[in-house]
Structure 1
Amino acid sequence: MDREAILKVYNELVAKNPNFDRKGKTMPYTSANGYMFSLINKGNELGIRLSKEDTVAFDKSYGAKPFKSYGATMREYVLIPESLLTDLETLGIYLQKGFKHVMSLPPK
């Protein structure tokens, strides 16, 4: 998916959730409680940070591949497969799970 298409999906996805806002101009991301929990990398891939339990569930449904940004594997992040980028309802559920996960961590 090209940059404009993924940004459109991401902006729509984030706009549907009143708990957080999109941040970042060149590297779009969401954060709460001092932690990022989603971002789009330079390869135009979306990653969402999930708890271990949610990562296991995501893996069973979609295959939890590692998410990389700037060549580094992002711990606790799953790479969102391109096939899921058209399902804003399911993506919204996982983005909310990411938000809940970082809110459960000690504030930074």
Structure 2
Amino acid sequence: MSVAYEAARDAVLSLSDEVGLVERLARAHDVLATVDPVAHLPENLRFRCEELVADLSYGADSVHAALSRMSGADRHRLSERIVALFAEVARAFPGDL
């Protein structure tokens, strides 16, 4: 199984935990941050992954601080982007399904 597929899958799974959304998104960030876009992703997905990881921690010293300052709508959009990234990674690595 590819590193990118496992990380994207685990990021989506972290969104289904029973803790608050900030904690779930922070866990998803930690998993996605392990992906080396150049080594693990096709070129067309590299920027999307890098951008998503950066947006999860945007403008703060810690991921939790960044997520806590965001609006609920922004956190919800980030969770949707994580699911969308997983869908794209799954299409890119169909053998991992």
The TM-score bracket by the shorter chain reads 0.3 to 0.5
Higher strand share: 1
Q: Which structure is richer in relative contact order (CA contacts within 8 A, separation 6 or more)?
A: 2
Higher helix share: 2
TM-score by length of 1: 0.37
